[in-house]
Amino acid sequence: MNKIFEDSEHAFAYKTNWELRKAYWLFKMMKFNWLISVGTGFILTAIKWRLPVLGLLKDTLYSQFVGGETLEKATPVVKKLADYEVDVILDYGAEAKEGEANFDLAKQEFIKAINYAASQKSIPFISLKITALARFELLEKINPHVSITPASISVDTSVLTAEENQEWQRVIDRTFAICEAAMTRNLGVLIDAEESWIQDTVDALVMLAMKSYNKKHVAVYNTIQLYRHDKLEFLKLSDEVAKQQSFLLGVKLVRGAYMEKERARAEATNTPSPIQPDKTATDNDFNKAVEFCLSKNEGIAVVVATHNEHSNMLAMDILAKQNNKYNHTFFSQLYGMSDNITFNLARNGYSVSKYLPYGSVADVIPYLLRRAQENSSVAGQTGRELFLLGKEMERRGLL
Ligand SMILES: Cc1cc2nc3c(=O)[nH]c(=O)nc-3n(C[C@H](O)[C@H](O)[C@H](O)COP(=O)(O)OP(=O)(O)OC[C@H]3O[C@@H](n4cnc5c(N)ncnc54)[C@H](O)[C@@H]3O)c2cc1C
């Protein structure tokens, strides 16, 4: 582990002894793969049968990974992070609630989040999932009919019925309304990447939004998942498109969160997996993407969204060599994870944020289960968290 990220005192200064103990035990439990598998099944069944498990979730996973039930309730977390120069990416946590009325409500929530962010000094971004604004099957139907070249971004809607055409137009309208609100208030919207079988549609929509709103400053960011073997090329293509079509490019670089789901689907549909052959290939492409964006730092606004210490160090090294560490480059980690990276980057003057979900316990369950599964399947990550939490517990005389 690099020296800068070893400092557990600064990493956890914002946690009381009680909060530190709780985080330690939570990560200890998440180490047990079988417990997470059984626990996930139990939680989903209990919710279906309306058993009272939400209280249990609220005291455990929820309090570790979520800011609060509403924007107002998340405010103390935002302020506490700001005390340590850590910014926030606000994430309205209701995922994929189906139906046009819910999509409209979600649009209102995102605009509310933008207005709230504009009233705070430490919230430069909100995040947005297109599946919160659109029917999944519609995005999936459009997906094979997207074409992106340096000269054009096109979506062939002739395969859609008249009704679906109107539905698609409403998706565009909702997305653009949110991006316009962000542009007007000088904020950024980071649009999440999701499953590969809807991602071409999402990419086209985000590109069209960038073309409309990324004129003077970067209001819209796409997300590039480097666990896909075709996405480094797509990043380079995006740069070409931006140049030829005269808009500013914003990207958030991630490895990718749906690996098991992607592999299972490829197997079930007997199609080649879009995922890299192994972790090393993912790491290589992620780091090449960091190098590509940062070497063109005047041109591309980039959020380096990772808990990987090596990738964070690589970005820091490039920036240090260029002497422009404050310029268009942001670092980000999820709230509740890798505090050693976030707080130590902030202390060393980098622009760094926590991705902070908010929403009712019931609404954020899919997010919480993803975090639990990620922390049990990525053994290295849990090990790192536990090591640092344990180190700080010892330093405070709690172990
Ligand atoms: C601020 C922020 C925003 C995010 N937004 C999104 C988003 O919009 N969409 C999204 O999909 N994810 C998103 N993520 C999650 C992200 O994609 C990763 O799942 C997570 O951050 C773990 O990767 P890492 O780089 O932090 O760390 P690491 O621990 O170094 O990498 C773990 C990752 O490597 C990849 N990997 C692991 N094993 C293999 C293997 N055998 N073969 C190939 N690849 C492998 C997987 O992507 C895995 O998640 C976000 C993460 C952050 C911090």
Q: Which of 366, 358, 361, 305 is nearest to 116 (CA)?
A: 358
Comparing 25 with 175, the larger pLDDT belongs to: 175
Judge if the beta carbon of residue 257 lies within 6 A of ligand 1.
yes
141-191 residue pLDDT tens: 999 999 999 999 999 999 999 999 999 999 999 999 999 999 999 999 999
What span, in angstroms and rounded, lies between the C-alpha atoms of 1 and 379?
16
What span, in angstroms and rounded, lies between the C-alpha atoms of 107 and 110?
5
The phi, psi pair for 299, rounded to 5°, reads -95, -35
Judge if the beta carbon of residue 354 lies within 6 A of ligand 1.
no
pTM: 0.95
The phi, psi pair for 172, rounded to 5°, reads -60, -45
Work out the pLDDT band at 35, boundaries 50, 70, 90. low
- Mean pLDDT, to the nearest integer, of 47-57? 72
- Mean pLDDT, to the nearest integer, of 337-359? 95
Give the number of the atom of ligand 1 that is nearest the alpha carbon of residue 307: 26
pLDDT at 47: 67
Asked if residues 364 and 62 have their Cβ atoms less than 8 Å apart, the reply is yes
Q: Which residues, other chains included, contact 200 with Cβ-Cβ below 8 Å and sequence gap of 6+?
A: 143, 144, 146, 148
Return mean pLDDT, the chain. Answer: 91
Q: Which residues, other chains included, contact 324 with Cβ-Cβ below 8 Å and sequence gap of 6+?
A: 297
Of all residues in the chain, what percent carry a pLDDT higher than 70?
91
pLDDT at 380: 61
- Mean pLDDT, to the nearest integer, of 124-139? 97
Q: Which of 242, 314, 317, 316 is nearest to 285 (CA)?
A: 314
Q: What CATH number should be reported for the domain whose range is 69-358?
A: 3.20.20.220
- Following CA atoms 281, 284, 286, 290 in sequence, which dihedral angle do they give, to the nearest 10 degrees? -170
- Mean pLDDT, to the nearest integer, of 117-139? 96
Of the listed ranges 88-97, 126-135, 159-168, 195-204, the least confidently predicted one is: 88-97
397 burial (CB, 10 Å; 0-12 / 13-18 / 19+) is exposed
Comparing 279 with 327, the larger pLDDT belongs to: 279
Domain boundaries, the chain: 1-66+364-399, 69-358
255-308 residue pLDDT tens: 999 998 999 999 999 999 999 999 999 999 999 999 999 986 668 999 999 999
Judge if the beta carbon of residue 373 lies within 6 A of ligand 1.
no
- Mean pLDDT, to the nearest integer, of 79-84? 97
Judge if the beta carbon of residue 259 lies within 6 A of ligand 1.
yes
CA angle, residues 322, 323, 327, in degrees to nearest 5: 90
151 burial (CB, 10 Å; 0-12 / 13-18 / 19+) is exposed
pLDDT at 53: 72
Work out the pLDDT band at 233, boundaries 50, 70, 90. very high
* Eight-state DSSP code of residue 58: I
Judge if the beta carbon of residue 355 lies within 6 A of ligand 1.
yes
- Mean pLDDT, to the nearest integer, of 204-228? 97
Q: How far is the CA of 225 from the centre of ligand 1 (A)?
A: 8
Asked if residues 293 and 251 have their Cβ atoms less than 8 Å apart, the reply is yes
What span, in angstroms and rounded, lies between the C-alpha atoms of 108 and 128?
12
61 burial (CB, 10 Å; 0-12 / 13-18 / 19+) is buried
Helices 100-118 and 71-83: crossing angle in degrees, nearest 10, is 40
Residue nearest to atom 37 of ligand 1 (CA): 279
Q: How far is the CA of 148 from the centre of ligand 1 (A)?
A: 25
Q: Which residues, other chains included, contact 272 with Cβ-Cβ below 8 Å and sequence gap of 6+?
A: 266
